[in-house]
Amino acid sequence: MAAERIAGQAAGCVNLDAIPWVIYTAPEIAWVGKSERQLKAEGVAYRADQTR
C-alpha cells in the first residue's frame, strides 16, 4: 500500500490476514493468517501442523 501511494496510485487494500505476527516470549509465539477457530467458523478446509 505504501509503495502504491508513493507511486501516486490509489491506495490499495491491506490484507491483515497475510501479515506475520509475533509475541516475544520464551518460547516465541508467531503466526500468520487465520486461526483454526476462524477457519472452522467459516467452514474452510485446512491442515494443522503439529510440529513442535
DSSP three-state, residue 44: coil
Which run of H or E residues covers position 21? strand 21-23
Q: What is the pLDDT of residue 52?
A: 58
- Going by the DSSP 8-state scheme, the letter that residue 8 receives in this structure is T
Tell me the residue length of the chain: 52
What tens digit of pLDDT does each residue of 1-52 get? 777 888 888 777 777 777 777 878 888 888 888 888 999 999 999 988 776 5
Q: What is the pLDDT of residue 37?
A: 92
- 3 CB contacts (<8 Å, ≥6 apart)? none
Report the candidate in 23, 17, 50 with the shortest Cα–Cα distance to residue 35.
17
- Cell numbers linked to 52: 513442535
